[in-house]
A and B are shown apart, each in its own frame.
Chain A
């Protein structure tokens, strides 16, 4: 098994597995947060409910954090190896039928921006100002107030658009490639998987972006 994990193929399985954890998390994060479009109470109650069970919370956080760390470290390792393997660059790069997609070519750069986004995102929200509110007699964190405050800044909303825009490419390429890396792809599935990955990435990012846009436009 050590040989497997040290091989180039084995490392792609690790990249795929850890990426997949986050691909799944994106949906689990985006969908309930859509509550912000409907009610501050529901939004806060949801935040309260997912943070109430500390054991479950820490377990999920541990999985997410370890996946992220492994994904990033492995990406750095592979990118460095791949640079060495490439050696010299060409004077001209392909731009006709033999050119490659933008999303696949700049995975490392997109990943770096997304990592910066995740760190800033945690500082702003999870470790941001702690407001309190009472919903149905239960004292809880007023996450809604913080989110509304943050999204008043056009710069912050713009930053969201840039990073989540990059995420469309990163997630769509990753979500399709994982089937390739895991070796579960068959010829007849190739086209369908690519389309599925694009739709998934666009749905996730549209969902996420609708939240700051809604707050920015309708919460003054």
Chain B
């Protein structure tokens, strides 16, 4: 098999000491990069050189490196997770880059997801949105039979597509309004489609949208930047569903009349 040529790259990387510090771009050379390396492996090699020369390595979030955990992610030349669609940056390989290319690497930027160091930012606002309603309440015990609850195939498929969200934050990062609408809507529509999600359906839509707003994310202007950036290719259609769920819940939500055991 023909051996692929290693490439050299010029990197312009955002360096920021901590959340308070004022960051700046620093230039680095990535030399003799194997085209088979992933983008993160390329950064690992750059970091090894930095450590050897006594510098601080570039901090970036990462975990599974299989594209399923949602830990990694930053902007490469203004594109979340880099130029390839439907890919996390850990699964982006260096064969997609040309020798001598200049790459500007920046962290996710959004007021609600502040940078903590270099390419790493605090995404706990997304966790709080999930905590506010992105779950179903079930009794604990043995796992139920897989087909115990019948779900129509189209609904199951659609729910799976929404559930594929890994919460990486690329949607927020690439949105000009730093809107978390795609992230929030994926969970709302995922659970609204399934029988298990019906009990909390209305309250979930109300609470998750309220939390999304409270965290200081912007609103959706349907640019589609999120859908294009999403490594799991979550569809914009989820946002339409969220809006519908939210209107429905606003209209149909019953007043709490008290009584019972609500001491």
Q: B-contacting residues of A (Cβ < 8 Å)?
A: 1, 3-4, 7-13, 78, 81-82, 84-101, 104-105, 107, 173, 176-177, 179-187, 190
Contact = CB atoms under 8 A, between A and B. Distances in A.
Contacts of B85: 97-98
A8 B219 contact: yes
Contacts of B175: 86
Nearest to B173: A90
Contact of B244 (A107, A176, A184): A184
B88 interface: no
B217 interface: yes
B44 interface: no
B246 to A, nearest CB: 5
The majority secondary structure among interface residues of chain B is: mixed
A3 B237 contact: no
Interface of B: 12, 25, 75, 77-80, 83, 85, 104, 106, 109-112, 158, 174-179, 181, 206, 209-210, 212-213, 216-225, 228-229, 235-237, 239-247, 250
A13 B224 CA distance: 18
A82 B83 contact: no
Contacts of B246: 4, 7, 9-10, 183
Given A181-B222, A183-B245, 7 more contacts: A7-B246, A81-B218, A82-B177, A84-B111, A86-B177, A98-B79, A184-B240
Contacts, number: 162
A111 to B, nearest CB: 11
B247 A86 contact: no
Given A13-B247, A183-B241, A86 B176 contact: yes
Contact of B240 (A7, A84, A88, A179): A179
B250 A85 contact: no
A3 B211 CA distance: 12
B78 A94 contact: yes
Nearest to A181: B243
Contacts of A86: 109-111, 175-178, 218
A13 B243 contact: yes
Contact of A104 (B212, B221, B240): B221
A89 to B, nearest CB: 8
B127 to A, nearest CB: 18
A211 B240 CA distance: 37
Nearest to A183: B244
Most buried by B among A10, A78, A87, A181: A87
Contacts of A11: 219
B240 to A, nearest CB: 4
Nearest to A8: B219
A177 B235 CA distance: 14
A12 B218 contact: no
A180 B243 contact: yes
Contacts of B240: 179-186
Given A9-B242, A183-B241, A85 B110 contact: yes
Given A85-B112, A94-B79, A186-B237, A101 B250 contact: no
A87 B173 CA distance: 11
B243 A85 contact: no
A12 B220 contact: yes
A170 B174 CA distance: 21
Contacts of A82: 176-179, 218-219, 221
